[in-house]
Structures are given as C-alpha cells and as structure tokens.
Chain A
Amino acid sequence: MKRRKFVRNSTLFSMGGLLIPGVFMSSCKEDTLFPSVDFQGKVLIIGAGVAGLYAGYLLKENGINFQILEASSNHGGRVGKLSTFADFPIDLGAQWLHGNNNILGDLIKKSKTKTSLDDSALQYWFNGELVTKLPQDINIFEGDDLPDVSFQDYATQKGFTEEYKYVVETIAGDQGASASRLSVLNNNLEEENWSSGEEDYKFEETFFDLIDSQIASKIKDEMLLDTVVDKIDYSQSVIVVTDKKGNRYEVDKVIITVPITILKDGDINFVPVLPSNKINAFSKIGMDAGMKVFLKFDSKFYDQNISGGRVSAAYADDSVGKLGADHVLLAFVMGDQAEVLTGLGNDEAITSALLEELDTMYEGQATATFISSHVENWTTNPFVRGAYSYIPVGIGDARKVAAESIEDKIYFAGEAMNVNGHHQTVHGAAETGYREVINILNSVKK
C-alpha cells in the first residue's frame, strides 16, 4: 500500500512538473528587448528616407521625442512614385523587394499589400543579336578564393573576351556599380550574409505606397521638409544642429541617414571634425551614378529583360506585375553608362541615345512606336547624387567603421550603413533604422 501511494504521488508530481517549470521559467525572460523605455531626451533624424522613417516610426512607438529633417520636398528618399506617366504608377527609385524573408516582407503580408514574383525572362544582346543563352556561362563571381579585383578584371582573367563586357556591366549594374570598380571578393563576402531570399517581387502599386501608408503616414507630423542640415556640433553634452536657414535644433542624439555621397562630399560640417578613420571609411564606400529612364511605346515589341546593351546594360519591361495597359520599358542605367548619359546634358538626348540602341536591337521599332519618356536621374539629384552604395575594390572593413556611432551621440543609418549583407536594399535601410534606435536605447540604459 505504501508503495502504491508513493507511485501515485510520484506520478502526479511528475505530471504537474511538466507544466509548472514552464510557467515559472517564462516569468524569468522577457520577449522584448526593452520592456520599459524611459528616455526623456530628444532624437533628431537627418533624412526622411526609409532608414530615417523607420527609426522615427520606432521612436514614436516607444514614446520618444524626435524630429526628422529632410532636405528635399518629399519623404521617401530613393523610394519614389510617379502616377502621371502611365496608366499604372511607376517606381522612380527602388522598385523590387529582394526576397521576402525580411522586415518589409512581414509588413507587406501584414498590410495585405499586393506584390508578385518577378520571374521575367532574360535575353542577352550579344554580338549584335538577341540570344537566350550565352556561349560561355558567366556565373563566375561566386565561390571561394576570389581575388579583390573588379568584376571586369576578373572576367578578363577568366578568359571572357570584350564581347562579354556589357553582360558583366549588367551584373555589376544590379549592384549599382560600374563593373570596373565593384570588388569580386568583398561583394562575395557580403553576399554570404544575405538572408532575405533569392526571389524578386514587384508591387502592384509602388514601393513608395507601402512605405508611405505603413510607416511615413504615422510620423508625418514630426517631419520637417526642405530643411538642409549645415552643421552638427556635438562638442557639448547637448548636440546643436544648424540648418542652412540658420535654425538651431538642440537634441541629445542624432541619427544620420543621408546617402553616403553626402557624407563623402562633406556637405555636413561636424564640430569637432569626425575622426579620420571615419572619414576614410566614408571615402572607401562606393556609390556610382544611376538613373532610371521610362520609355512609353504604343505597342510591345521588346523582351521582358534585355541584358548587355552598350548604352544601357539593362532594360526591363516595367509593366510586369502592374495593372495597366500601357507599354513601358525601363532602362536601368548604372555606373559608367549613367555617367555617359548624364554627360549628354538633357533628357531628350538621353532618350534619343536609348531609342537608338533599341532600334538597333529591334529593327527600328523603338522610334516608330515611341510615345514619351521620363528620366529619373538620381545622379543629378542634389540630395542623393547616385544610385546606391556598392563594394569597391579595397573596401576592407570600411562599412563597419562607417556605421559605428560616435560618442553615443551621433548614429549612422541608411542602406550604405547596413553591415549585414542587406546594403543597397530598402529592407536593409529599414534594418539600420531600427538597429540605431536599439543602439540609442542601449546607450541610455548604461
């Protein structure tokens, strides 16, 4: 009897024991980083691109006082929208969500934003004709033991002749760079951290609509547009930021989210001057010229994707994934080619150069069916001056150095400051936005 009682009690104890520790131990760990936020200071965000907007959104959600200063007249940064060109809205800047295992993939699902997989077919313009397959497989830029040389040099080393120059230019153009500057080694190293997924998605509306409706709309009251920052004095405990109109902003923390070109060119005066390793790091991060030219035709004579053009290495059917009947072809021009087209001086000349190339490819059909064009030249935008950051030869750990905060006062965000393989992307910019808010809250927790 004694044993039977013991067996019964032990069994009950054990069954109860299966439940109790979970309840007990759950109370030991929180499922959020900052269960309570008690920061009474003010944060100033410079730049209303996606990084700045996302940082502001998180600050607002945590009840932290902040303001965003934006140099241009619009928020969104390099995410923009044009509704008047075609019967569907076009993306002036960032257009594809690269993989959806990322923060914006979650936001898209949550908001029921309509996207579609972009699996457009690819044609190469090679040796004066359009082909579906290249004679030699040029998938050579991934693997082990890669040298720190440019894509173009590496292709030459691997025996790819001049005929492949513009195909290589297309591959580099995807990275927003000229093939003569993009590093094979460092690009590959950063790619190892890519965790977002391999698919590309397009928006039925635009990328801007997602950012505007889901993030920017929540913090519009805290945005000050047309405000160009001139000076940041972080020599005292209170940081004093001055804009070009002479307005002063006294804050405790500053998050700088401007494009890397603005930092490289020294548009913002820092007092004291930034450490030399920081300035060196900025100078090592690449950002080439870039433009998107939208060409509208009255019929579709072109393929979904064309790679290897001498004027524009990449063309893409912009109507793919959109609800509309208009025929719009996008010329995605990066690096040296964007510099050459910018040098032509005006939109008409740029359009003519592209039409001439398309006429060669499609036997004069481009000019014959052309209706209108829109040139979005990010290189001549005074607050952007290029496409997006890339990894040049010899970059080393510059991106990590550039992204480090200074004295727990000045923080850096934006796609160029993403050190986790998601640079050049919109979701990568958003990641740096929340990363720096976490860094700020960690700094005041000390």
Chain B
Amino acid sequence: MKIFLMTTVFFLTFLQSNAQEIRFDLGYNYLSAPEWDNAIQTYNFSRPFLENNQPLLMHGLSTSGSYLFRSSSRMSHGVGLSYSYFRSAVKNKNLDVSLNLSLIKMSYILHLKTSKKEPKCYFDLVVSSVAAGLFRSVEPYSPDDSEARAFGIGGEVAVKAGYIILLNGQTKLSPFISLGYVPYFFSPDAEASLNQTKGLTSRRGTNMLTAQIGLAMSTSKESTR
C-alpha cells in the first residue's frame, strides 16, 4: 500500500511537471443508440404482461480525466480516460429488471484555446476508442438464472467546448458541452441483454450519439495570467 501511494504521488508529480494542464470532468451524459433503442422498444411491446415499460438506455453520468502536454501555442494535445455509466431500471410485480451499461473511452485530444493568454473558451477534438459492458440483472435473482451480458467496441469522434473561469492563477473551472458520434459500435450480444434475442430486432452493432454537459476542473503548471 505504501509503495502504491508513493508510486501514485510520484506519477502525479511527474505528470504535473510535464503537463500544461490536467483536467477532471464530471457530467450528465445522454446516449442515443438506435439499434439498442429498437431492441428495448421491442422488449416493451412484446411483453404486455409487464406493467411498466423498460426505459431506454439514455441517461448516464460520466467522469473523465485528461492530460494535456505543454505547448507554446494556443493548440496543444493530450490523452484522456473516461468512464460513463447508464442505467435503465424498471419495477414490476415479481420482476424488476435493470440494464447497466458501462462505457470506457481512451482518448486522444486536440485542445485549442481562444487565446494563449487569458483564454475565455476552449475547444477539443477528441478521438476515442470505446469499450462497453452491458449487463441485465433481474430481481428476484436466482443463482440458476441464465446470464445476460454483452461487450462491445467502437470508435468515437467528439467535439467539446468549454468556458474558462479562472479560480486562481492555476486552477480553472469550465462548464462544458460535448457531442460525440460512434459510427459503428460492434456489440453482437447486446440484443441478448436488451430483448433476450439475437438478430431479431437489431444488427450486430449500432451507431451512437452522445451528448454531455458538465463541469471540468483543471489545473495547469503555468499561470495563464
């Protein structure tokens, strides 16, 4: 544990010493995945014996960390890692169902500030590889139940815009919005979790649109003042 803590402190110090900026985001995430929506809609339509509809998988929370390298210009680049969690849960008499989706993105970021000194806004172009795990869980649960889970991969292109509010010389707060698009997310077993079938409602993958709004806290080594 001691070694781990020391390694972490050393690593963060190293990152800080080489970074122009380290940023942490927290935000609300909206997801639109048409093939998955269709599978859930089919699930709801085909099961009139359930009192309540399964909500679409569309609302989530995400958090991310990014690391921007030093740059002498308005433009810099960096890497990021983010985690998003979406949940769709419904209660019915004798059968509660929840769908849990975890998305992990590893990103390359092109970062552009509106000016080198005292920038008001920034824009990111983010290219990410996306991995996901989708799990269906049922209550009451029985250990004998068949499992329903799916994994998938894809690539995302996103743009992000943020407004910079200086809290002090090195720390900034940024409300931001971002919009991302995954042209094809390969997840052949997702329908098995969403509609308990495979190939009946959807293809083996889906496109995805993500929108995010949130707050970023960042710290840079150099004062922007």
Could you tell me which A residues sit within 8 Å of B by CB distance? 3, 6-7, 10-11, 13-14, 17-19, 21-22, 25-26, 29-34, 57-58, 61, 99-103, 105-107, 109-112, 116-117, 193-199, 201, 214, 419-422, 431, 434-435, 438
Contacts and interface: CB of A to CB of B under 8 A. Distances in A.
29 contacts: A7-B165, A11-B173, A14-B214, A14-B215, A17-B28, A17-B213, A21-B211, A25-B58, A31-B53, A32-B45, A32-B53, A33-B44, A58-B45, A100-B145, A103-B47, A105-B146, A107-B47, A109-B140, A110-B93, A110-B95, A111-B49, A111-B94, A193-B199, A194-B198, A195-B191, A195-B198, A197-B148, A420-B199, A438-B42
A256 B155 CA distance: 43
Contact of A7 (B32, B45, B95, B173): B173
A101 B163 contact: no
Interface string B37-61: 1101110111111100111101100
The 10 closest A-B pairs by CB, nearest first: A197-B146, A195-B192, A434-B46, A61-B48, A101-B146, A18-B28, A14-B175, A195-B198, A117-B144, A33-B45
Contacts of B140: 109
B27 interface: yes
A101 B214 contact: no
How big is the B interface, by class?
35 or more
Given A3-B165, A22-B58, A199-B146, 8 more contacts: A10-B165, A18-B213, A21-B30, A29-B37, A33-B42, A101-B147, A112-B94, A198-B146
Interface of B: 27-28, 30, 32, 37-38, 40-42, 44-50, 53-56, 58-59, 92-95, 136, 138, 140, 144-148, 163, 165-167, 173, 175, 189, 191-192, 196-200, 211, 213-215
Given A21-B211, A110-B94, A117-B144, A101 B192 contact: yes
A22 B28 contact: yes
B186 to A, nearest CB: 15
B32 A29 contact: yes
B94 A34 contact: no
Contacts of B147: 101, 197
A431 B175 CA distance: 47
A17 B41 CA distance: 27
B165 A434 contact: no
A221 to B, nearest CB: 17
B44 A31 contact: yes
Nearest to B176: A14
B175 A103 contact: no
B45 A434 contact: yes
Contacts of B42: 33, 434, 438
A101 B175 contact: no
A14 B197 contact: no
Given A32-B45, A110-B93, A26 B146 contact: no
